[in-house]
């Protein structure tokens, strides 16, 4: 197979004939509950390009929702998985363990913030790992309650649906939801105007009066919220919350599913504020597209769970573990944390120029290669979801994969793979800007 050419190309109308035919088959056989953002079907992906089945090549500003951080089909990942698939595909770690699972846990102990002995448990999806973090926190503290935040996204399983804030499409009609989940106000600088310590006091006051520290097992928070709108809390919010948790015997759980693994220019987003979480949840970028997730924490916390209390048939599957080890090697050997910071500089500059010229962009924010623009009605500051959708769709039609997010759907997020070139990144942003101009 020749290398995938790193340039945008529109050979057919979108969708092309092959994609259109596959979409007809999808409609006939795939549950409509599973939606798709783009009307085209993927054939190959690498670097900063996704090629569809009609030979169109798209600039990838989404990384399959922050998963292919090292690139899709990154060479070390491909080679590691190829070798592993020849050796064995599965034995079940709970039956006949294998080294790569242990090696991933060793790497997580080294890479997550905080010193001392740490242990990990591996799972398949982000939701599954979040659920397990709650199980571990309950086991360790002997308490039931869990606090999450406005705009939070933690998954689609029963417990994590309860933890996710937004009803449509994630929760509508799917209740009843798990109990003992409480919601506190998030720091949202653009909209609440509070500094970090003040936003933390507001949240803590609600937690103390409506939940009670003595009932609370864990505070679970995304250090930069993902689906909820790439909301970066004000400086000092996370440290103040973490300090309150420490003082009250409550575990501070960082859901780094979207923000972790190099995405924000540090291995984990909490590092930017010097916060050490009791439990860190990893997924998405950890294994370059293979399904893998992890909960990592201090030994005394992880050891509270009774033997056999955690697991699952596929958790820490050998192919996924081989991929994760190759991802870590790639981030470290290729200087990808630095690359994420370069991407931040390039993209923020462009987005801020756009914002200065167009008051419909109410805010530009994010870190590393996790960046966003929030669209508003300039007169009222009200969210403008229609504009975000129109700009994203215009980008799709020009051959750029962009994703929206946000409680009100009015945010366009930029999550390029760190393997993208500056040229493709700039071209992608030019095309987004051109789409904005037309609307
Ligand atoms: N925690 C912070 O971002 C997944 C979900 C897309 P899973 N985000 C993308 C969708 O519409 O389903 C996510 C996340 C954070 C947990 C999760 C859940 O991870 O691997 O999708 O289960």
Going by C-alpha positions, the residue among 374, 419, 395 that lies closest to residue 37 is 395
Task: Examine residue 277 and state whether it is found in any structural domain, yes or no.
Answer: yes
Task: Examine residue 9 and state whether it is found in any structural domain, yes or no.
Answer: no
Is residue 378 domain-shared with residue 401, that is, in the same domain?
yes
Residue 164 C-alpha to ligand 1 middle, in angstroms?
10
Is residue 308 domain-shared with residue 380, that is, in the same domain?
no
* Strands 118-123 and 403-405, bridge-based pairing: unpaired
CB-based contacts of 228, cutoff 8 Å, min separation 6: 150, 151, 152, 153, 165, 166, 186, 222, 405, 406, 407
Best residue among 268, 282, 284 to mutate for probing ligand 1's pocket (most ligand atoms within 8 Å of CB) is 284
Alpha carbons 152 and 221: distance in angstroms, whole number: 7
Task: Examine residue 10 and state whether it is found in any structural domain, yes or no.
Answer: no
Is residue 42 domain-shared with residue 100, that is, in the same domain?
no
Task: Examine residue 2 and state whether it is found in any structural domain, yes or no.
Answer: no
Question: At 58, which CATH number?
Answer: 3.90.1150.10
User: Where among 281, 312, 333 does a domain terminate?
Assistant: 333
Is residue 346 domain-shared with residue 230, that is, in the same domain?
no
Is 189 within 8 Å of 234 (Cβ atoms)?
A: yes
Structural domain harbouring 415: 17-73+335-437
Is residue 319 domain-shared with residue 415, that is, in the same domain?
no
Going by C-alpha positions, the residue among 106, 8, 114 that lies closest to residue 398 is 8
CB-based contacts of 355, cutoff 8 Å, min separation 6: 361, 363, 364, 373
Alpha carbons 120 and 132: distance in angstroms, whole number: 11
* Number of structural domains the chain divides into: 2
Phi-psi region for residue 55, left (φ > 0), alpha (ψ -120 to 50) or beta? Answer: left
Task: Examine residue 114 and state whether it is found in any structural domain, yes or no.
Answer: yes
Measured CA distances, 102 to 98, 321, 384 (Å): 7, 9, 47
Total residues belonging to the chain? 439
Is residue 258 domain-shared with residue 127, that is, in the same domain?
yes
Tokens 């970028």 belong to which residue? 285
Question: At 181, which CATH number?
Answer: 3.40.640.10
Alpha carbons 259 and 154: distance in angstroms, whole number: 12
Is residue 213 domain-shared with residue 344, that is, in the same domain?
no
Residue 292 C-alpha to ligand 1 middle, in angstroms?
12
256 lines ligand 1 (CB under 6 A): no
CB-based contacts of 271, cutoff 8 Å, min separation 6: 113
Q: Which helix (H) or strand (E) holds 276?
A: none
Residue 100 C-alpha to ligand 1 middle, in angstroms?
25
Residue 342 C-alpha to ligand 1 middle, in angstroms?
26
**Paired residues of 216 in beta bridges:** 145
149 lines ligand 1 (CB under 6 A): no
Alpha carbons 118 and 86: distance in angstroms, whole number: 32
User: Where among 300, 333, 366 does a domain terminate?
Assistant: 333
DSSP 415: -
Is residue 210 domain-shared with residue 155, that is, in the same domain?
yes
The helices-and-strands tally (H runs, E runs) of the chain is: 14, 15
For the record, the structure tokens of 276 come out as 């050490």
Is 122 within 8 Å of 315 (Cβ atoms)?
A: yes
Residue 170 C-alpha to ligand 1 middle, in angstroms?
11
User: Where among 287, 315, 333 does a domain terminate?
Assistant: 333
Alpha carbons 86 and 302: distance in angstroms, whole number: 33
CA dihedral 429, 434, 435, 439 (to 10 degrees): 140
**Paired residues of 297 in beta bridges:** 119, 279
* Residue numbers in the chain where pLDDT is lower than 70: 1
Task: Examine residue 263 and state whether it is found in any structural domain, yes or no.
Answer: yes
Task: Examine residue 143 and state whether it is found in any structural domain, yes or no.
Answer: yes
64 lines ligand 1 (CB under 6 A): no
Which atom of ligand 1 lies at the shortest distance from residue 226's CA?
Answer: 3
Residue 434 C-alpha to ligand 1 middle, in angstroms?
30
Alpha carbons 341 and 121: distance in angstroms, whole number: 30
Is residue 159 domain-shared with residue 181, that is, in the same domain?
yes
Task: Examine residue 233 and state whether it is found in any structural domain, yes or no.
Answer: yes
**Paired residues of 293 in beta bridges:** 123
171 lines ligand 1 (CB under 6 A): no
Is residue 224 domain-shared with residue 368, that is, in the same domain?
no
DSSP 323-357: HHHHHHHHHHHTTHHHHHHHHHHHHHHHHHHHHHH
Best residue among 65, 122, 131, 155 to mutate for probing ligand 1's pocket (most ligand atoms within 8 Å of CB) is 155
What local confidence, expressed as pLDDT, does residue 2 receive? 77
Is residue 32 domain-shared with residue 96, that is, in the same domain?
no
What local confidence, expressed as pLDDT, does residue 1 receive? 65
Is residue 60 domain-shared with residue 103, that is, in the same domain?
no
Tokens 């997010």 belong to which residue? 405
């Amino acid at each position: 197979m020749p290398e995938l050419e790193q340039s945008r190309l529109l050979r057919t109308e979108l969708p092309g004939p092959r994609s259109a035919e596959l979409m007809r088959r999808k409609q006939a056989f795939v549950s409509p509950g599973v939606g798709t953002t783009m009307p085209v079907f993927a054939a190959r992906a690498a670097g900063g390009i996704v090629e569809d089945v009609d030979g169109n090549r798209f600039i990838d500003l989404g990384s399959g929702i922050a998963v292919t951080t090292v690139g899709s089909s990154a060479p070390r990942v491909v080679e590691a998985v190829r070798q592993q698939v020849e050796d064995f595909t599965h034995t079940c770690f709970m039956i006949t363990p294998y080294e790569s699972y242990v090696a991933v846990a060793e790497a997580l102990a080294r890479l997550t913030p905080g010193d001392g002995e740490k242990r990990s448990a591996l799972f398949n999806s982000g939701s599954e790992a979040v659920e397990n973090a709650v199980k571990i926190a309950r086991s360790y503290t002997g308490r039931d309650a869990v606090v999450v935040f406005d705009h939070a996204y933690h998954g689609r399983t029963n417990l994590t649906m309860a933890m996710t804030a937004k009803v449509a499409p994630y929760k509508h009609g799917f209740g009843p939801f798990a109990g003992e989940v409480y919601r506190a106000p998030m720091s949202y600088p653009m909209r609440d105007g509070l500094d970090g310590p003040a936003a933390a006091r507001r949240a803590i006051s609600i937690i103390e009066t409506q939940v009670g520290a003595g009932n609370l097992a864990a505070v679970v928070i995304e250090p930069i919220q993902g689906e909820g709108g790439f909301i970066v809390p004000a400086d000092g919010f996370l440290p103040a919350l973490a300090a309150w948790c420490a003082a009250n015997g409550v575990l501070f759980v960082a859901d780094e599913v979207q923000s972790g693994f190099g995405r924000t220019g540090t291995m984990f987003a909490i590092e930017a504020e010097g916060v050490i979480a009791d439990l860190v949840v990893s997924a998405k970028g950890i294994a370059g597209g293979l399904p893998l997730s992890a909960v990592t924490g201090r030994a005394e916390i992880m050891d509270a769970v009774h033997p056999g209390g955690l697991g699952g048939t596929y958790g820490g599957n050998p192919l996924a573990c081989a991929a994760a080890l190759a991802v870590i090697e790639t981030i470290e050997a290729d200087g990808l944390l630095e690359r994420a910071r370069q991407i931040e500089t390039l993209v923020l500059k462009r987005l801020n120029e756009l914002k200065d010229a167009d008051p419909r962009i109410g805010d530009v924010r994010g870190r590393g290669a996790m960046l966003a623009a929030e669209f508003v009605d300039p007169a009222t500051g009200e969210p403008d979801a229609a504009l975000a959708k129109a700009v994203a769709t215009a980008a799709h039609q020009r051959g750029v994969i962009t994703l929206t997010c946000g409680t009100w759907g009015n945010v366009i997020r930029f999550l390029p793979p760190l393997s993208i070139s500056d040229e493709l990144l700039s071209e992608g942003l030019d095309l987004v800007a051109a789409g904005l101009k037309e609307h």
